[in-house]
Structure 1
Amino acid sequence: MAKQHGGKILAERLALHGVTRVFSVPGESFLAALDGLHDANIPNIVCRQEGGAAMMADAHGKMTGQPGVVFVTRGPGATNASAGLHIAMHDATPLVCFVGQVPLKHRDRGVFQEVDYRAFFGPLVKWVAEVERTDRLAEYIDRAFAVAQSGRPGPVVLALPEDILSAMAEPPKMRPGSLAMLGAAPDTIHAFATCLNDAKHPLIICGGSQWSDTARQQAEALAARTGAPIAVTFRRQDYIDNDHPHYAGDFGVGMNPALAKRLGASDCILLLGAELNDITTADFTLLDPAQTPTLLQVHPEAEAIGKVYPATHAVSAIPGAILQDLLEAVDPVAGDRGAASARTEYEGWQRPQETPGTVQMEWVISWLRDNVAPETIITNGAGNYAAFLHRYHRFRRYGTQVAPTSGSMGYGLPAAISAKLQNPQSPVICLAGDGCLQMTLQELSTARQHGADITVIVANNGRYGTIRMHQEKTYPGRVSGTDLYNPDYATLAKAYGGTGHTITTNSEFPDAYKMTLDGGLHIIELKLDPRMLATTKSL
């Protein structure tokens, strides 16, 4: 069999793993990989900065459950990408990052852009390795994909020395292995069911990264069968149809105080992939670890079970592996066990609280909630604006919310591009603050180059809103480092071959949004009153 260079071996291995798209910023350190991709039927989405490329790969992993793949060059390329890798690690997203490396023959000489990637990425990702033999390249790739998807998913980094990647070797004969499937024994299912049957105030919480539309349907059926309220963790709101009569809201930043109180009053909590972390429990104040109620925990990583709050019964598995069995094992409940009142509290929380100005975020988000198609995908990064989305929108289909639980700014635009490429028939909205958007603004060029027709809604209040909110609370009247200068977003949209819309009153927004449904790139700038922050502290 004719020998191939490492880049060709790599590209063919990606195809065997079912990779349908990669994201990259090109570099001379991995020219052989680019050459391999030239002949592979795998589109290469060329981005403008490595952080944006890694965020696109993370969004791809979130949407598909398969590892997103990103290629970056050595030195500054790799360090730029670390922002997206941190998101993937925090959010438990499967991702494989290939980093070009200095030639192996020059390693440890401090040559141009040399970095010790094992040391740099070690605390940041699930696994990092450097390939030192071309004939073992396939072995490392297979392991990278396995580690990225096993247990609690996460990012993996493979450093590829330039000379190893360009060297020749025989194509590998080994095939990729399969992943281990985790499940629960019948006695564990019985123990879970008994606890749910005996509970007076049960609560179901869905979270984590390994979810599906089937899991959504099964979890909703379980809530209906047990009479329990069902909620989600931070930025996992699309895991349950928000119109479902048992849906009670999200345990996120600025959660509904009534839902927070309900967590502490529950006598049995079923965690389906979710974790009782600082966000879920409001800095561990809503539940006392020394007085934990009956806790039923389903999580793919055994080490995460009982991390802070001791589990009564637990299973190391993804929720979808046990939900059907649990659904069949629990007794149907004729009466209500808190779902109706929890739903009333949720709907009350969604009644808009008026903020200052002629353009109001609560009005805009409520209009989107009541008017956009249910398949509309909404992405966002981090900022004060996002609290309005969490509180007032309703996600009705799984896969329509793509956002970082790590709280990373700049995520919304790259994620929207990735979402549109993956779901070309669905409308895609990037909701961003002016500070958030400007961190990855250059990826508008990527959107246009690759035909990602997205709508960007910019909440422009001229400041880093979340930080300003805390600043006004902690050091009132002492503004420092939070004001922003903004471009003319309507003109900017035109510069990228798109259409710009400047909104100065609520009534102008519906017509502007409807124009975006005909395709193309659109930026809708919301001119917000800076005083809005003073009334959104509870968000």
Structure 2
Amino acid sequence: MAKQQAPALEPRTGGQILADALVAQGASHVFAVPGESYLDLLDGLFANRNRINLITCRFEAGAVNMAEAHAKLTGEVGVAVVTRGPGACHASIGVHIAHQDSTPLVLLVGQIPVEETDRETFQEVDYRKMFAPLAKWVTQIDDEKRIPELIAHAFDVARSGRPGPVVVAISEEMQKRLATVPDIGPAVVTPPYPAPEAIEAMMKMLGKAKRPLAVIGGGAGWTAEGRKAIQKFLVNNKLPVAVAFRRQSNFDGTSDNYVGDLGVGADAALVQHARDSDLILAIGTRIGEPVSQGYTLFDMAGAKPIIHIYPDQAEIGRVYRPALGITTDLNAFAAAVKGLKVSKPGWGAWTKELRASRLAQAEPQEYDGPLNLARALQALEKVLPEDTVFTCDAGNFATWPNRFMHVRQKQDFLGPTNGAMGYGIPAAIGAKIVAPEREVICFVGDGGALMTGQEIATAFHHKVNPIIMVFNNGQYGTIRMYQERAYPERVSGTQLTNPDFARFIEAFGGHGEVVEATDELVPAYKRASASGKPAIIEVRMNPEQVTNRATVAQLRAQAKKK
């Protein structure tokens, strides 16, 4: 019988090859703000409209944030496309988020015609120089025949080791030329497994500990199975577990082992417990500035034993010398240890002490005025679906849900570890596009809400309905807090003038609510959810309660004592 021959390849434009390359790599969504620098790619995406979803956004930072949230939620490589010059500059915010959050992302950027290079032509930027500090790899495709190769490598780099962003510039004329090349699919790569001797050494070190503390981080690299496996190991060994900054998805906050979030705004008791511990089990966290409390929590030379588990060897020992470093895929590590137990753990009372501190921290205080936000959030927590997705912006408001709410096993929490304002709303829209069957709640301050609030139009355009909770205190609260500590009573540049946020979304055709008292939040949420529309719940806060632990008056009094 004659051997069947593969069908002959047909010539395609570079734009078509690019779109086909994204499909070949398994991309399901592309988040984009269109530009004339990639019309041919847009045409290629049109030809693939039944295989890949093109999401039209209103601002490049919003588009990349949606792609980044998509990657965090699915574990896939997020894909965004923007035009040259100003488009790329706007997009750089999202690239920085993906970099510091270790999120796999590919950003395609339209580029000028190659023949005009170095003339400072219209919207010209050298992307290799611009994105070098922010991306794992930056390249430019000028030869249409190399598109499948370079796109495949871009996805490989974004996924591998410590995941992160890759930027690919696509020159304008390359997209128009014809080439006859095959598509290239994803590489099948076995993830790195932990060395058996390393696991044995880790268990011996745990067996000798009296006051261990596990700190679990990592974002898009975890799978649902991996999270279950690592939770089984940590719970079976009764280890106290803190999550790294904005990594609440990684451990069930209702577990008796959960002791809080170790990051910005961490409970002082948890920070002290971390200092008092005699072994740190750092799983998937870089032990960066927020987790280490400004690099003050541990001795960099290794006086406190640290077991550092991370997928990229270059990050192990980068700041803190570990007693043991284990380079491994996080899910592979979780699978390897899920059935292991320390024979006679000596830290039962220690775990109970840390858990008691966490429960005490989460107990609502009394606050002046009709709104006790702590009690309102805890009432809200009880009525939310068990698979709710939370997205969170940056600001002091975020310490309220962090302190008083608990993210459960089937829930997800997406927040920027680099502290980028303007993340929350586009992230919520991206999450809802990816998981339309799940409730998506965005926590955002009034400052961040007006940085990317126009992306609400994207939610309407693509017919998804996130619920956006705007914490409105009429100021840049975090900066006001620092200002009052350093320059009490000299308020400069931190006050804001805001719209009526409920009417703002109603102008789009959405559902608006205003909450001013404790018992109003849950009914407002229920009405917003039942509306089936994109919704804003504006929570009007007391501007004097600048943090959940201090008022402006208290900060001023403390500053005067210095």
Match of 1:436 among 409, 433, 448: 448
Q: How many angstroms apart in 2 are the aligned matches of 1:368 and 1:148?
A: 37
- Which has the larger displacement, 335-344 or 89-98? 335-344
Within 5 Å, give how 1:314-393 maps onto structure 2. 314-333=325-344, 336=348, 338-393=350-405
2:518 alignment partner in structure 1: 506
Q: Relative to 1, partners in 2 of residues 1:280 and 1:390: Cα closer, same or farther, differing over 3 Å?
A: same
Q: How many angstroms apart in 2 are the aligned matches of 1:248 and 1:173?
A: 49
Match of 2:314 among 303, 307, 312: 303
**Aligned-partner residue type, residue 331 of structure 1:** V
Q: How many angstroms apart in 1 are the aligned matches of 2:13 and 2:232?
A: 52
- Contact conserved, 2:400 with 2:548, CA < 8 A, in 1? no
- Contact conserved, 1:29 with 1:101, CA < 8 A, in 2? yes
Within 5 Å, give how 1:140-539 maps onto structure 2. 140-172=150-182, 174-209=184-219, 210-333=221-344, 336=348, 338-398=350-410, 400-518=412-530, 519-533=532-546, 536-537=549-550
- Contact conserved, 1:135 with 1:172, CA < 8 A, in 2? no
Q: What is the identity percentage for the equivalent residue pairs of Structure 1 and Structure 2? A: 40
How far 1:399 sits from its partner (Å)?
Answer: 5.1
Q: How many angstroms apart in 1 are the aligned matches of 2:183 and 2:97?
A: 35
SS of match in other structure, 1:517:
helix
Q: How many angstroms apart in 2 are the aligned matches of 1:113 and 1:291?
A: 49
- Contact conserved, 1:352 with 1:392, CA < 8 A, in 2? yes
**Aligned-partner residue type, residue 309 of structure 1:** Y
- Which has the larger displacement, 233-242 or 335-344? 335-344
**Aligned-partner residue type, residue 402 of structure 1:** L
How far 1:398 sits from its partner (Å)?
Answer: 4.8
SS of match in other structure, 1:178:
coil
Can you list the C-alpha shifts for 1:159-197, whole angstroms capped at 9, x where unaligned? 000000111101325444233521122111111111111
List alignment gaps of at least 5 residues for structure 2.
1-8, 556-562
2:22 alignment partner in structure 1: 14
1:28 alignment partner in structure 2: 36
Q: How many angstroms apart in 1 are the aligned matches of 2:137 and 2:12?
A: 27
How far 1:340 sits from its partner (Å)?
Answer: 1.5
**Aligned-partner residue type, residue 40 of structure 2:** A
How far 1:20 sits from its partner (Å)?
Answer: 0.7
- Which has the larger displacement, 48-57 or 273-282? 273-282
- Contact conserved, 1:58 with 1:68, CA < 8 A, in 2? yes
Q: How many angstroms apart in 2 are the aligned matches of 1:363 and 1:328?
A: 39
**Aligned-partner residue type, residue 454 of structure 1:** P
Please give the TM-score of this superposition, normalised by the length of structure 2: 0.93
Q: How many angstroms apart in 2 are the aligned matches of 1:204 and 1:20?
A: 35
- Which has the larger displacement, 310-319 or 29-38? 310-319
2:100 alignment partner in structure 1: 90
Can you list the C-alpha shifts for 1:323-349, whole angstroms capped at 9, x where unaligned? 232344443447615222211111111
- Contact conserved, 1:146 with 1:179, CA < 8 A, in 2? no
**Aligned-partner residue type, residue 538 of structure 2:** E
How far 1:13 sits from its partner (Å)?
Answer: 1.2
SS of match in other structure, 2:451:
coil
Can you list the C-alpha shifts for 1:250-280, whole angstroms capped at 9, x where unaligned? 1011111221111112222111111222211
Confirm or deny that 1:133 pairs with 2:143: yes
- Contact conserved, 1:6 with 1:164, CA < 8 A, in 2? yes
Q: How many angstroms apart in 2 are the aligned matches of 1:270 and 1:123?
A: 29
Q: How many angstroms apart in 1 are the aligned matches of 2:278 and 2:330?
A: 21
Please give the TM-score of this superposition, normalised by the length of structure 1: 0.97
Q: How many angstroms apart in 1 are the aligned matches of 2:187 and 2:117?
A: 32
- Contact conserved, 1:357 with 1:532, CA < 8 A, in 2? no
Q: How many angstroms apart in 2 are the aligned matches of 1:13 and 1:374?
A: 37
SS of match in other structure, 1:227:
coil
- Contact conserved, 1:25 with 1:48, CA < 8 A, in 2? yes
Aligned residues: 539
Can you list the C-alpha shifts for 1:54-96, whole angstroms capped at 9, x where unaligned? 1101111111111100000000000000010000001000000
Q: Relative to 1, partners in 2 of residues 1:212 and 1:337: Cα closer, same or farther, differing over 3 Å?
A: farther
Q: How many angstroms apart in 2 are the aligned matches of 1:302 and 1:180?
A: 17
How far 1:123 sits from its partner (Å)?
Answer: 1.1
- Contact conserved, 1:369 with 1:392, CA < 8 A, in 2? no
Q: How many angstroms apart in 1 are the aligned matches of 2:379 and 2:185?
A: 51
Q: Relative to 1, partners in 2 of residues 1:205 and 1:296: Cα closer, same or farther, differing over 3 Å?
A: same
How far 1:11 sits from its partner (Å)?
Answer: 1.1
Can you list the C-alpha shifts for 1:453-497, whole angstroms capped at 9, x where unaligned? 011111111111110111111111111101111111121111111
SS of match in other structure, 2:167:
strand
List alignment gaps of at least 5 residues for structure 1.
none
**Aligned-partner residue type, residue 433 of structure 2:** L
- Contact conserved, 1:368 with 1:393, CA < 8 A, in 2? no
Q: How many angstroms apart in 2 are the aligned matches of 1:415 and 1:67?
A: 15
- Contact conserved, 1:376 with 1:427, CA < 8 A, in 2? yes
Q: Relative to 1, partners in 2 of residues 1:30 and 1:272: Cα closer, same or farther, differing over 3 Å?
A: same
SS of match in other structure, 1:160:
strand
